[in-house]
Amino acid sequence: MSSTLHDDEFGDIVIKRSAKARSITMRLTPNGQLCVNTPRHAPLFLIRHSIATHRQALRQLLHQHAAHVYQDGETIGKHHSIAIIRTQMVDQPTVRIARQKLLVSLPPAHTIDEPAVQCAIRQEVATILRREAKAYLPQRLHELAARTNSTYQRIRFSHASTRWGSCSSTGTISLNIALMKLPNELIDYVLIHELCHTHHMNHSSAFWGLVERHDPHYRSHRQRLKHETPMI
């Protein structure tokens, strides 16, 4: 069950009530919408209090999302790039994928930084990253699993707003399609991190020791990852 709550700073916030939810959690959807997941009967004052408590963290999330504006020539994933086509043959901007190009057709009166154009680009960027993730990540995870003597049940692809990956207690490894934005060594760090969770479902010293065994530079990789965002 969904509704909206207006906040003077953040505007309309989507409230999703669920019988399965045990606590109030907040996230950004891939299109930048602030969403609050709550237990079904959580009172409104408690939701407002939770938003107020986490206001600074939410500001940072929104800033990260809003900071990036796609531009002509920008690389997308590993194999694609954006190309602007100036044309009078269309009345409205169009965005499409053609081989290894993300083609943005712009009539004379339009620019690439318009919100509607950026939204359309972001949707196709997600398509590109998902295709690249499905082509690359399963094989690489398989290789690293053999190297780390790890086993997992299956891979699931996601587009979470704040997490690069996760590992469930049942052996499902979820990988964010936005991993394809990262350098290969950071992708490997995330995959090794999740594979090590198949041995230790925590962040104990034993867990980090195992990570270090398979990625001796994990501290550097972990620090670099803090400067990246899975937002598209």
What does the pLDDT read at residue 132? 98
Q: What pLDDT digit, counting tens, does each position of 88-100 carry?
A: 999 999 999 999 9
Identify the band that residue 194 occupies on the pLDDT scale cut at 50, 70 and 90: very high
Question: Which residue ranges does the chain devote to CATH 3.30.2010.10?
Answer: 128-225
> Is 124 a residue whose pLDDT tops 70?
yes
Q: Are 180 and 133 in contact (CB under 8 A)?
A: yes
Continuous segment of H or E residues that includes residue 219? helix 218-225
What does the pLDDT read at residue 162? 67
d(CA 8, CA 83): 38
Mean pLDDT of 182-203: 98
> Is 9 a residue whose pLDDT tops 90?
no
Q: How many CB atoms sit inside 10 A of residue 170's CB?
A: 8
Identify any residues that bridge with 11 across adjacent strands, giving them in sequence order: 7
Range 128-225: architecture per CATH: 2-Layer Sandwich (3.30)
Radius of gyration of the chain (CA): 20
What does the pLDDT read at residue 175? 96
Residue 91 tokens, joined: 């009345």
Phi, psi of 99 (to 5 degrees): 55, -115
Mean pLDDT of 207-223: 98
> Is 43 a residue whose pLDDT tops 90?
yes
Identify the band that residue 67 occupies on the pLDDT scale cut at 50, 70 and 90: low
Task: Tell me the average pLDDT of the chain.
Answer: 92
Nearest to 21 by CA among 50, 54, 60: 50
Q: What pLDDT digit, counting tens, does each position of 130-173 carry?
A: 999 999 999 999 999 999 999 999 999 988 666 899 999 999 99
Distances (CA, A) of 120 to 71, 132, 228: 13, 19, 22
Mean pLDDT of 204-224: 98
12 contacts: CB under 8 Å, gap ≥ 6: 4, 5, 6
> Is 30 a residue whose pLDDT tops 80?
no
Q: What pLDDT digit, counting tens, does each position of 45-57 carry?
A: 999 999 999 998 8
Q: Which residue has the tokens 């086993």?
A: 151
Provide the residue count of the chain.
232
